[in-house]
Structure 1
Amino acid sequence: MKPYKVIRDPIHGDIGLSELEVLLCDTGDMQRLRRVKQNGLCYLVYPSMNSTRFEHSLGVMNLGGVACAHLELNERQTKLLRAACLLHDIGHTPLSHTTEKIFASYGVDHEKLSTEKIGMPEIKKLLEAEDINPGEVGEIILGRGLLGSILSSAVDVDKMDYLVRDAYYAGVAYGVTDVERVLKTLRVGENEIIVGEGGLSACESLLVNRNLMYQAVYRHHTKRIAEAMFCRALRKIIESGEDYQRICAMDDYELISLMRSQKGFPKKIMSMLDNRILYKKVFSKKILSYTEKQRKNITLNTGEIEEKLANKLGLEEDCLLLDYPEIRMSEYKVKIMDQGELKPIDEASSLARTLEENELEKHTIDVYVCQDKANNVRRRFSEAFKAYIT
């Protein structure tokens, strides 16, 4: 079918859109994504990482259509999946994953927000005019069923787009993946996609590139410091009485303007970030070096531990930040056909097992303090930390 409109994309070339997809792009929720950075504060490390959720959504929609063609899905399934791919990020909070942890603590889930927005009149009316059930689109966004697994799973079109796109804008080679080859290896399993016979090496390349991108870009230590600073300031704003639901609906510019308009700590932090004046790392230790009980204690009592450590070290409130990243290992649960048998990839591939172990090893608990206190604190920090994590 001839596209209604064509948009030029630096990653995928010409992306064709149907009339419905053009109308969806013109909605307020989709246009907001032009003002939400794909990678939050990554631009403080990689200056060209200023791409937005809008072009990522177009890329995912394009790959969703390609996947449907390879899997020989019918026209209705293709229309459903492309709509879900296009709309899957409309619920993202400002600065994307930078703020996700803060809003999650208030019960906010960006995928559920996306499904709620799809049920609102502006988008709902457009979908229903094309005999598309908004509820079905929402189910796909939540990763349910065959179509949901194409959008959200261990080997999905969302991941294929952001790895290649983010590598391009960061200027690194790690995320360069032969997306077409990976897509050609996908097969229809029992209500989910699987990797077909002979697709192991293509799948391994995707996992390798993801692993390298997380090490070099997504978990870069400078990015983590900047995000910890921003999130502490954001939490202060919410605790002072700002409505977190109103903030969720903002774009990046609105949230940053709100931060700059505050008094005290949030304003100070925003000024520091504007001038790239960052806290310094004084402590870093592998998460796996702690027992499960200790890790649970850190997760549940982060604020209390920060306060006690600051007092012990003679630091002012908010001069010390404890950064404990969430461990997500679902990427290694993809199923693959290996010699006629369907297996988890970590059973079929020693490389996948090594990558999984490597990723766990790379997770660290880090502590950051104000620049002028860093040298003094660094020398006596380890003993102080031990006392509060047993």
Structure 2
Amino acid sequence: MRAPEVQRLRNIRMCNINSLLITGASEISRFEHSLGVVRLAKEWSYAANASVEETIAVSAAAMLHDIKTAPFGHSVEYIFSDSPDLRELEHQRVGGRLEHDFFQRTRANVSYMGAQFAAPTIMADHWPLIAQTIAGAGRLGPLISGSMDLDNIDNVVRLAYHVGLATQEDSRVAIALARDLRIESGILSISNAGIAHVKRWQSLRHHLYRYLLHDWAEFSAKGMLTKAIELATSAKIIGTDSWILTDDALINLLISASIGETQDIGAMIKRLMLAELYEPVIILRTKKTSGYREIANPKNKRAIESKMSSILKCQCLVHVILDKAKTDRKVSVYIRDRNEYAEIGHDSDELLVGLFSSRAQGEKVNSRAASEFRREVHPYVGNSDVLEDPLEDPFESAVSQLKLI
């Protein structure tokens, strides 16, 4: 826990943005989450009568699984993963030749506050198994990186509880699942009684991610941060070694390094930090996900933004979210009481595309821009529906109350 790479996680948010409306989720750190995953690993080890080696490996993997997480979590990772030169950033990969080379190319030389990352040294001979487990490989991998692993179990229940979507009883779902999980022939195994816990976890996930992905303020904030990072990457302000920064360090770098031709980057980040979010013009959802790579390409987004700006008479941004097994996630398990394999639930698979303007517009201008935007993105998304904001639903009392305050 005292290793520098773990202490760094105190300053990395659990969520991908510092939420304006869903603040209960935005202030959880990756450090708090990591401790929670360790708790679940200990529960699993005891219930499964794990060996000493297995207990060490799963507990250490639980503590260390996020050590390669970039500032603002996946917001940075998603952007870097689209670049062939930066794909090694994938945070689950922490061992092996590629990662060794990756770490050595980092100017910060994988340190935090001047202290070198220490986990491989501390764990000594256990490190190969720990790194393998974090990557989801080997006999223990499914416990840390799978469709419903200890990481995801804590992630969903913790965030849902902080947001106010989970009850006190729901908070016990994480412990119950951790105690029930086993590994059978490389996949997760549960008891028949555990099916109800899996379904409750899936329900919590659905409601949580509906807010995190569909709320206009979340969408806008992620879009602003994404555009700033894309522009900064193109301008060589950030690159391969930037994953080592904390949230605040990245913000300070983007502001201080944005001068002259790149000053729009700093201006965008300042607006984001002051909650001066871009206003929604229209957010679309579609089942056609095959066009994601094309429409998410920064060059294509900038071209669409240029056309929309001429209509809106101000700056605008286009943001794209691929919801592939995020809101809804299928869990493949072996039910040991029944001696059968089963698939519980289904995977969400849709594309969300939003247009936002730097200032509020009148209904007539917004309507015209929305119509033109739909024409522009149709080649990528096909037929689409307008996405409704979940916080506008008066019956969703748990979060709508936050908006009323």
Task: Deviation per CA, 1:228-277: give whole Å up to 9, x if none.
Answer: 10111122122112241232111111111112212321111122112211
Residue 20 of structure 2 is aligned with which of 34, 39, 44? 44
Alignment partner of 1:28 is 2:4: yes
Aligned to 1:183: 178
Counterpart-to-counterpart distance in 2, 1:270 and 1:32:
22
Q: Which amino acid aligns with 1:97?
A: H
- 1:224 to 1:206, Cα distance in 2 relative to 1, 3 A: same
Residue 111 of structure 1 is aligned with which of 85, 89, 92? 92
Counterpart-to-counterpart distance in 2, 1:34 and 1:337:
38
Counterpart-to-counterpart distance in 2, 1:232 and 1:164:
30
Counterpart-to-counterpart distance in 2, 1:219 and 1:225:
10
Structure 1 stretches lacking a partner, 5+ long = 1-24, 347-351
Aligned to 2:343: 345
Alignment partner of 1:244 is 2:221: no
- 1:294 to 1:163, Cα distance in 2 relative to 1, 3 A: closer
Contact 1:167 1:173 in 2 (8 A): yes
**For structure 1, which segment, 277-286 or 222-231, has the greater mean C-alpha deviation from structure 2 after superposition?**
277-286
Counterpart-to-counterpart distance in 1, 2:69 and 2:155:
15
Give identity over the alignment, percent. 20
Task: Deviation per CA, 1:64-107: give whole Å up to 9, x if none.
Answer: 11112212211111011111111110000011123221122232
Residue 298 of structure 1 is aligned with which of 295, 299, 309? 295
- 1:30 to 1:187, Cα distance in 2 relative to 1, 3 A: closer
Q: Which amino acid aligns with 1:149?
A: P
* Offset at residue 297 of structure 1 (A): 4.3
Alignment of 1:1-390 (within 5 A): 25-48=1-24, 49-106=26-83, 107=87, 108-113=89-94, 116=99, 122-128=118-124, 131-132=125-126, 134-173=127-166, 176=171, 178-217=173-212, 219-261=214-256, 262-263=258-259, 264-288=263-287, 290=288, 294-295=291-292, 297-299=294-296, 301=297, 303-311=299-307, 314=310, 319-329=315-325, 331-337=329-335, 340-346=338-344, 352-353=345-346, 356=347, 359-360=348-349, 363-373=351-361, 375=363, 377-380=365-368, 381-390=370-379
- 1:320 to 1:144, Cα distance in 2 relative to 1, 3 A: same
**For structure 1, which segment, 239-248 or 322-331, has the greater mean C-alpha deviation from structure 2 after superposition?**
322-331
Contact 1:177 1:209 in 2 (8 A): no
- 1:384 to 1:252, Cα distance in 2 relative to 1, 3 A: closer
* Offset at residue 376 of structure 1 (A): 5.2
Q: Which amino acid aligns with 2:32?
A: E
- 1:384 to 1:179, Cα distance in 2 relative to 1, 3 A: closer
- 1:169 to 1:31, Cα distance in 2 relative to 1, 3 A: same
* Offset at residue 368 of structure 1 (A): 1.6
* Offset at residue 305 of structure 1 (A): 4.7
Higher relative contact order (CA 8 A, sep 6+): 2
Contact 2:160 2:204 in 1 (8 A): no
Question: Matched residue of 1:45: which SS?
Answer: coil
Counterpart-to-counterpart distance in 2, 1:140 and 1:54:
19
Give the TM-score normalised by structure 2.
0.77
- 1:153 to 1:97, Cα distance in 2 relative to 1, 3 A: same
What number of residue pairs does the alignment pair up? 350
Task: Deviation per CA, 1:84-142: give whole Å up to 9, x if none.
Answer: 111110000011123221122232212225774799873222111xx41x221111001
Contact 1:313 1:377 in 2 (8 A): no
Contact 2:13 2:73 in 1 (8 A): yes
Contact 1:102 1:235 in 2 (8 A): yes
Counterpart-to-counterpart distance in 2, 1:153 and 1:329:
12
- 1:313 to 1:374, Cα distance in 2 relative to 1, 3 A: farther
Counterpart-to-counterpart distance in 2, 1:312 and 1:222:
20
Contact 1:283 1:382 in 2 (8 A): no
Aligned to 1:22: none
* Offset at residue 306 of structure 1 (A): 4.0
Contact 1:147 1:192 in 2 (8 A): no
Question: Matched residue of 2:118: which SS?
Answer: helix
* Offset at residue 371 of structure 1 (A): 1.8
Counterpart-to-counterpart distance in 2, 1:149 and 1:75:
18
* Offset at residue 186 of structure 1 (A): 2.0
Task: Deviation per CA, 1:348-384: give whole Å up to 9, x if none.
Answer: xxxx24xx4xx446x5322222224574542122244
Higher helix content, 1 or 2: 1
* Offset at residue 214 of structure 1 (A): 0.5
**For structure 1, which segment, 244-253 or 303-312, has the greater mean C-alpha deviation from structure 2 after superposition?**
303-312
Contact 2:41 2:178 in 1 (8 A): no
- 1:87 to 1:215, Cα distance in 2 relative to 1, 3 A: same
- 1:217 to 1:387, Cα distance in 2 relative to 1, 3 A: closer
* Offset at residue 388 of structure 1 (A): 4.7
Question: Matched residue of 1:135: which SS?
Answer: helix
Give the TM-score normalised by structure 1.
0.80
* Offset at residue 334 of structure 1 (A): 2.0
Q: Which amino acid aligns with 2:118?
A: E
Counterpart-to-counterpart distance in 2, 1:47 and 1:265:
27
Question: Matched residue of 2:179: which SS?
Answer: helix
Counterpart-to-counterpart distance in 2, 1:252 and 1:293:
32
